[in-house]
Structure 1
Amino acid sequence: MTNQTTLDPFALWKSMYEKTEANMNEAIHETLQKEAFSEYLGQFQGAYLHYQQLIQNTTDNYLKQINMPNREEISNIASLIINVEEKIECLDQKVEDELLTNPLSSEISKLKVSISKLDKKMNQILKAVGKEQEIDSAPADSSSEQNNQHS
């Protein structure tokens, strides 16, 4: 019996890939090392940047005509809103700190205590005045009763 070789499609594909890859790699390296390629790439990049600037200017002019803000204006407004929110939070914190540590709050508490004491004293005075009026009116009532009895 003789050894027969069978056709292996994967081995054939692998060898074809390796040869093609080596040739392509060599061609790409040669092209990239040429100064003409660098000049062409620079020109292409310049043209693309010019095209991009033209599109940006056209878009900005269109947005101005239809009275719409562009990206930069929206970004500025967003940063202003963030700054305002930060300032509000800072003011809110200051107000809370002032309410908690404010000497006026202790003064207000002292005034409440003083008013409470004054209210109690006024009630005592009103009771005392009410008793004096009862005492003053009591003899007058008894003298009028005596006068009624004599008549």
Structure 2
Amino acid sequence: MPEDSKAKRKQADAGERISMPDFVELWKELYFQAEESWANATKEFIGSKNFIGILDEIRDQYLSFHKISQQNTDQYFEANPLPSKKDIARIAELIIGLEDKVDDFDLHFSNNITMITNSLVKLVDYQEVLKQEIAALKRENSSLNKKLETVNKRLNTLVKSQIGVKEAAAAEDKKPKTPGRSKKKDSLD
């Protein structure tokens, strides 16, 4: 770049004209000269412990500002009825816990309903078997009743016939005795 300015000067001398200096070229030269010195100074400053100390201070100030800002925000939300992110997060956790409990309740409820229906099915099957057994017992009971009635009829007829025989024997005993020989005496002779 400095060569360009020299070439222009030679042209100006050759034409013997008076020309104005090129400010852009002067600015470029000044910039490139200052750039190197500023780069070296910045590298030295960044590498020093002062820079690290300044960064630590800036960080501490930022963190304290953030802490104070957070405290002010929390105080504001405590004073006003607007929910904060913490409140919403806590409610979200509670809702998730409630959803888990509802899911568990639903699972237990469906398991219990399944067990109850299975028990009812078994109970209905048992009742069916019990009805069949009761019907069989009724048939056996009616059969026994019929047999008992026939036994009672035969017993009654037997009792009646024995009563008839006893009555006949009693009637025979009540007959006036004839003086004649008794059967016992006849048979002894």
TM-score range, shorter chain: 0.5 to 0.7
Assess, with a 3 A threshold, how the Cα gap between structure 1 residues 30 and 91 changes in structure 2: closer, same or farther. Answer: same
Letter in 2 for 1:61: Q
Superposed CA deviations along residues 22-55 of structure 1, whole A, max 9, x for unmatched, are 9466544322210000000100111111111111
1:54 & 1:106 partners in 2: Cα distance? 64
Report whether the alignment pairs 1:109 with 2:121: yes
Higher relative contact order (CA 8 A, sep 6+): 2
1:77 & 1:105 partners in 2: Cα distance? 38
| Matched residue, 2:63 | 49
Assess, with a 3 A threshold, how the Cα gap between structure 1 residues 27 and 97 changes in structure 2: closer, same or farther. Answer: farther
Q: Which sections of structure 1, spanning at least 5 residues, go unmatched?
A: 1-15, 122-151
Report whether the alignment pairs 1:99 with 2:110: no
Report whether the alignment pairs 1:81 with 2:89: no
The two structures have a TM-score, normalised by structure 1, of 0.53
Structure number with bigger Rg: 2
CA RMSD in angstroms comes to 3.2
CA deviation after TM superposition for structure 1 residue 106, in Å: 3.0
The two structures have a TM-score, normalised by structure 2, of 0.44
Letter in 2 for 1:92: D
Assess, with a 3 A threshold, how the Cα gap between structure 1 residues 108 and 47 changes in structure 2: closer, same or farther. Answer: same
The aligned runs of 1:1-151 (5 Å cut-off) are: 23=36, 26-100=40-114, 102=115, 104-113=116-125
CA deviation after TM superposition for structure 1 residue 97, in Å: 2.5
Letter in 1 for 2:109: V
Superposed CA deviations along residues 49-83 of structure 1, whole A, max 9, x for unmatched, are 11111111111111111122222121111111111
Identity of aligned residues (%): 22
Q: Which moved more, 1:87-96 or 1:23-32?
A: 23-32
Q: Which sections of structure 2, spanning at least 5 residues, go unmatched?
A: 1-28, 135-189
Letter in 2 for 1:83: G
Count of residues paired in the alignment: 102
CA deviation after TM superposition for structure 1 residue 99, in Å: 2.8
1:72 & 1:65 partners in 2: Cα distance? 15
CA deviation after TM superposition for structure 1 residue 84, in Å: 1.0
The 3-state SS of whatever aligns with 1:80 is helix
